[in-house]
Amino acid sequence: MPTRYAIMKRLLTDILCVVFMLFVAACSNDDDNDYPPIVTDLLVASVDANGRVVSVRLDDGTTYNVAAQQVESEKKDTTLRCLATYTHDGNTGLKLNSIRTIYSDTPYPVSSFYMVVNGVAYHDASLLPRSPMKVISMWKSGGYLNMHLGLMTTGYGNHQYAFCEDSVGHYSLLHQRPMGDGGSYTEHVYMSMPLPEGQEEVTFTVKTYDGDYTRTF
C-alpha cells in the first residue's frame, strides 16, 4: 500500500506534467501568431503630386502598391531613393512603417566643380571639400552604389554632399562640413549613387579619418 508521501509525490509529478504540457501548448500558439519581421532597406518610392508615396520598388525589381504615406521632400510626382522600414503583408502586399529620403544624385565630372576663394573661382580638384566620414558598408543593388556612412557631428548646421566623377569609372564623395560642427557623436548616413548605364565596373573613394577608402565593384 503506497504511503502518504508516495501519493503526494505522484500528485506533484502529475501537476508538473500538466503545467509543462500547457506551457508547450502556449508556446505553439504564440508561434502561430508570430508577427512578420520588420525589414529596413533602401528602395525607390513613387510619390504623387501631393508628395505621398503610392508605390515602392525594391532593389530586386519587385513593385508594391502601398497605402498613401507622406514623405519629406520638396520633389513631387517623381521617384525618390529612400530608406524605409516595412513588413510583408502575406504574399501579396507590403506595409510601410516609416520612410525617409536619402541623398541620391547623379555624379558630375570633376571639371564642373569649383571653389571660390576671396571671390575667385578655382577649378582645382585638390581644393574640393572632402571632410572625412566613417565607412560602415558599401554595396551595389537596384542600379545604385549604396553606402552606409558614419558622420561625426554635434548636429549643428547642414552638411553638403556631391558625387564626383574623377575619371572614367572612378568616383568619389565630396563632403562640406559646416563651420562650427565638431564630432560629439556618430550619425548614421545612407546614400545611393545612380550607376551609369553600361558601366560594368566602378571604383569609389571616400575620405575617412584613417585616409582614403577605395573599393571597386
Query: What's the pLDDT at 14?
Result: 53
Is the confidence at residue 49, as pLDDT, over 60? yes
Question: Pairing state of beta strands 203-208 and 170-176?
Answer: parallel
For every residue of 10-55, DSSP letters joined together read: HHHHHHHHHHHHHHHHHHHHHHHTPPPPPEEEEEEEEE-TTSEEEE
For every residue of 151-197, DSSP letters joined together read: EEE-S-S--EEEEEEEETTEEEEEEEPPTT---SEEEEEEEEEEPPT
**Where along the chain do its domains lie?**
1-33, 39-101, 108-216
Per-residue confidence at 19, pLDDT binned at 50, 70, 90? Answer: very low
Q: Which residue has the higher pLDDT, 215 or 20?
A: 215
pLDDT above 70 covers a percentage of the chain that reads: 82
Is the confidence at residue 200, as pLDDT, over 50? yes
Per-residue confidence at 11, pLDDT binned at 50, 70, 90? Answer: very low
Residue 216 and residue 201 in contact, taking contact as beta carbons nearer than 8 Å: yes
Query: Whole-angstrom Cα distance, residue 56 to residue 45?
Result: 4
Query: What's the pLDDT at 34?
Result: 67
Residue 170 and residue 163 in contact, taking contact as beta carbons nearer than 8 Å: no
At 78-111, the pLDDT tens digits run 999 999 999 987 666 888 999 999 999 999 999 9
Q: What is the mean pLDDT of residues 50-58?
A: 93
Query: What's the pLDDT at 23?
Result: 47
Q: Do domains 39-101 and 108-216 have the same CATH topology?
A: no
Query: Whole-angstrom Cα distance, residue 214 to residue 145?
Result: 13
pLDDT above 90 covers a percentage of the chain that reads: 60
Residue 156 and residue 178 in contact, taking contact as beta carbons nearer than 8 Å: yes
Instruction: State the chain's maximal CA–CA distance in angstroms.
Output: 108
Mean pLDDT of the chain: 86
**Three-state secondary structure along 43-61?**
EEEEECCCCEEEEEECCCC
Half-sphere CA count of 90, side-chain side, radius 13 A: 2
Is the confidence at residue 123, as pLDDT, over 90? no
* 108-216 topology per CATH: Immunoglobulin-like (2.60.40)
Is the confidence at residue 153, as pLDDT, over 90? yes
Query: What's the pLDDT at 78?
Result: 94
CATH architecture of 39-101: Beta Barrel (2.40)
Query: Whole-angstrom Cα distance, residue 137 to residue 146?
Result: 8
